[in-house]
Structure 1
């Protein structure tokens, strides 16, 4: 039965629903002018989150699906930083005043490609243009292969409180097959150094579905990670889209596991982490019992955003840097993806927004339902609709796929309350897709 459901509902084309509507629905109708208008309308006293995208790496991992470029020189990084500082200034000119900031996330790419002194300079600019709260969480993504002792000291001085470390797999065979050779000893050394410098909140990223991965190698990697006791682990499935990401053409497709094998790997990792005392959060995150994600899930305030699961309750996310996505009150905006185009906009003195999406009332209610399904594995559709002043009947009546999902035992529906059976959480994206009016409505 499990194999039948996997083949029926595990469609690789389904969105991960970190946001709704999803990026393919964005259009150039929403550009720099619209973004500026939306920024000016932000409430002056409402906290915001910042996301800063750093589009550079010192080595390219073949599995990566993010817009990054290879550099071994500081020159392109410093050129980017000059443009980024100008973008921060352009945003600051639009907003009502120095907006309060409660969360900051440096992503990429590899943010630590920025030289230590330049990183501190960037933080000074951000703190000058925004009002950081004393309790602001500042997080950064790290590739431990390029982290120096000076960089760790810099992160401490900059106020970094959380580090997300890319691990993916500790299996040397798998590592070589994706151009990401990283030893257990190196990873453990960086983790220890971060903790010694007060950066005690540690996240790990693991992948399944990589070439040559097996259930055994996935479990071994999970156990190796557990020995370092990170606060959180995100366990993602590798998405092989070589037509979109040319670097993935280096990967041997014949060594990739099929859908059933991928599901077995994901389940084995989940069992290993839960057995070690971690709580499963939504679809693919795991956290220690006292972590903010677990506390947010218990309180019913777990959120889903473009970075995955979050305890951040800010309604607004301001994205900075090439390809960065922002969430404003009226809708979504995304910056130019290509670094050259991004620079061109900044040199012209305009916001680098290339596309976006203006939310409708129906989009908002569907987004709320999808978010609760992805976070809580259940959604009270009538209650959510009532909070948005929306009639639930059209949503429940038009979602033909819900009946199919119920017949297959994936969901239970009682007076509009949809519950996903725990053993079928691996197809939660298919349940969320039942409320996605933008997707092709062909049957599964």
Structure 2
């Protein structure tokens, strides 16, 4: 769960990695329906695969992801067996070519090198993979070694996303994520030595004990590693959803104004270093594909954040993984026991989903266009009510609406979620609690 949280403290809005958002999924999407969606994809269509590895060695107290702590490897090995079976089952219904593969978690780097190689082999055996496909792995620097990195390179991994969060020792201790700058640098250097040069570094602001001084030092250390992309996410404090976040010392959390200052100053440092701001929370070097996709308006946003992936469908596999297809969304069960049992019975572990209406598709296009390019075409007849709700933003010039085009001013980047939420027809129908703002 990655997000920038720079909205009014009393307003809670989604992150919009999908629309409708996950709280509105329901049991109305059957396994038979999902299979029909998969089989409707044609050989000429492009496809993305996402694999969720829900295990970590230690629990990071800030984490909002679906994961479990593994004290020994047996549960991970058993899970991988089930995941390979799901790959086999899904592949029976799919003929499209894969152009993007992403491993997320949890900590995908918890897998042993030989297991990762074998699993990638099973994927290539059952799916047609484009030779130029991007293969990305989210990495915990604490669970990566040279042998694993060699396995990633051998299996075709092209991009690594390293979870840094913050380099300050006091902050790291407060979130139970202790990893030195020297360790991260060593991993970065080894990745490059093995030919994996597309590197993302993930940072978080709004963590306990962070200050302008400490986050400045973290930014400077991050820049010294010269990653192609940097993510600057706002810590989402949701202890009512993630009970372990109660271990985060709330009294040490920055307040709204401090968070705002941290983000704005950190963003200015990244821009001064030549990085281009992308959407809510991404920054990329000028030659990066993310920047190019902004220029040609092909930038996408999905459950992994901002991406250049333009595949027609994303198939998620593993516990709690979500698939996005033209007809709607489908999510696997979040129970590891249920997942293994259903897979062993040769079934698909679907738990819930949602069928997209034509109105959903239109509103999704508007919301995603705003989130990606900060502008969207808007029919004044169809969305007269929403335009009226935009009035405060238009008056402050955070946004403009002329000739049927809604544009958000770059200085109001931190209001994107709030402005996009005006077009969310589901917000008024739920009491779901989203994360606090800045």
What TM bracket, shorter-length normalisation?
A: over 0.9
Within the candidate set 323, 333, 346, 2:330 is matched to 333
Tell me the residue number matched to 1:394.
Answer: 382
Tell me the residue number matched to 1:253.
Answer: 250
CA distance in 1, matches of 2:292, 2:97: 24
- What are the Cα deviations for residues 318-339 of structure 1, in whole angstroms up to 9, with x where unaligned? 1010111111110011111121
Q: How big is the shift at 1:12? A: 5.9
1:90 aligns with 2:78: no
Residues 22-61 of structure 1 aligned to structure 2 (within 5 Å) = 22-61=21-60
Determine helix, strand or coil for the equivalent of 1:394: coil
Which structure 1 residue ranges, 4+ long, deviate > 3 Å from structure 2?
9-12, 396-400
Q: Is the 8 A contact 1:399 1:435 kept in 2?
A: no
Q: How big is the shift at 1:405? A: 2.0
- What are the Cα deviations for residues 368-415 of structure 1, in whole angstroms up to 9, with x where unaligned? 111111111111224xxxxxxxxx512233454212221233211113
Q: How big is the shift at 1:86? A: 0.8
Q: How big is the shift at 1:11? A: 5.0
Tell me the residue number matched to 2:237.
Answer: 240
CA distance in 2, matches of 1:188, 1:341: 40
Tell me the residue number matched to 2:433.
Answer: none
1:127 aligns with 2:124: yes
Tell me the residue number matched to 1:434.
Answer: 422
Tell me the residue number matched to 2:192.
Answer: 195
Closer, same or farther: CA 441–263 of 1 in aligned 2, 3 Å: farther
Q: Is the 8 A contact 2:386 2:422 kept in 1?
A: no
Q: How big is the shift at 1:201? A: 0.6
1:67 aligns with 2:66: yes
Closer, same or farther: CA 272–12 of 1 in aligned 2, 3 Å: farther
CA distance in 2, matches of 1:296, 1:217: 33
Determine helix, strand or coil for the equivalent of 1:435: coil
CA distance in 2, matches of 1:405, 1:68: 39
Q: Is the 8 A contact 1:232 1:286 kept in 2?
A: yes
Q: How big is the shift at 1:88? A: 0.7
Determine helix, strand or coil for the equivalent of 1:94: coil
Q: Which has the higher contact order (CA 8 A, sep 6+)?
A: 2
Residues 185-224 of structure 1 aligned to structure 2 (within 5 Å) = 185-224=182-221
Tell me the residue number matched to 2:397.
Answer: 409
Tell me the residue number matched to 2:410.
Answer: 422
Tell me the residue number matched to 1:155.
Answer: 152
1:304 aligns with 2:292: no
Residues 154-193 of structure 1 aligned to structure 2 (within 5 Å) = 154-193=151-190
Q: Is the 8 A contact 1:273 1:286 kept in 2?
A: yes
Determine helix, strand or coil for the equivalent of 2:369: helix
CA distance in 1, matches of 2:214, 2:369: 33
Residues 293-372 of structure 1 aligned to structure 2 (within 5 Å) = 293-372=290-369
CA distance in 1, matches of 2:250, 2:46: 45
Closer, same or farther: CA 427–398 of 1 in aligned 2, 3 Å: closer
Determine helix, strand or coil for the equivalent of 2:237: coil
Closer, same or farther: CA 297–313 of 1 in aligned 2, 3 Å: same
Closer, same or farther: CA 135–407 of 1 in aligned 2, 3 Å: same
Determine helix, strand or coil for the equivalent of 1:440: helix
- What are the Cα deviations for residues 242-274 of structure 1, in whole angstroms up to 9, with x where unaligned? 111011111111111112111111111100100
Q: Is the 8 A contact 2:293 2:299 kept in 1?
A: yes
Determine helix, strand or coil for the equivalent of 1:413: strand
Q: Is the 8 A contact 1:12 1:239 kept in 2?
A: no
Determine helix, strand or coil for the equivalent of 1:220: helix
Q: How big is the shift at 1:72? A: 3.0
Determine helix, strand or coil for the equivalent of 2:383: helix
Q: TM-score, normalised by structure 1?
A: 0.93
Q: Is the 8 A contact 2:29 2:352 kept in 1?
A: yes
Q: How big is the shift at 1:85? A: 0.8
CA distance in 2, matches of 1:346, 1:25: 25
Structure 2 residue runs of 5 or longer lacking an equivalent are 1-5, 431-436
Closer, same or farther: CA 58–441 of 1 in aligned 2, 3 Å: closer
Residues 104-119 of structure 1 aligned to structure 2 (within 5 Å) = 104-119=101-116
